[in-house]
Amino acid sequence: MGLLIGGALVFDHHTHRRYDLAPALGRPTPATDADRMRAVLTWMLAVLDNQVRQSPVAGLDGRVALTLTGPGGGTWWIDEAGALPPSNGPVAAHITAPALTFPDWGTQRSSWRDHDVTVTGDTELAARFLDAVNVI
């Protein structure tokens, strides 16, 4: 329940202030920290897990590793069943990006292609997955 309420509030506050309000008001992007980013990313990955489970990504026939670097970052494994616990198993594609940019492109406020997103392995599989990511 704490993740449900706390995570949603931190995610909404953080994301709207940084990507909606500050640009609209011509203000600088507010600072963040590892604790806030960890809460934002935990919430986003929980929502993404639910979305993938409810509406599988077409053509996601291999496991993808998503590594978000920097404050609050980590690595998550995703396949057609949703987000998986961390493992050392094989992945078809590995996606790496700064954690600070994930709330922007992960909500489709901008395209992942416009950010420092690196893909290794099956780039077509990774692109299908990344194009489908829309945490709302």
Per-residue pLDDT tens digits for 2-15? 566 777 788 887 78
Cα separation, 127 vs 107, in Å, equals: 15
Tell me what pLDDT residue 75 has.
93
Cα separation, 43 vs 35, in Å, equals: 12
Cα separation, 93 vs 112, in Å, equals: 15
Instruction: Classify strands 93-98 and 64-69 as parallel, antiparallel or unpaired.
Output: parallel
pLDDT tens digits, 52-92: 989 888 888 899 999 999 999 999 999 888 877 677 778 99
> How is the chain split into domains, by residue range?
2-132
Topology at the third CATH level for domain 2-132: Nonspecific Lipid-transfer Protein; Chain A (3.30.1050)
pTM here?
0.88
What share of the chain has pLDDT > 70, as a percent?
96
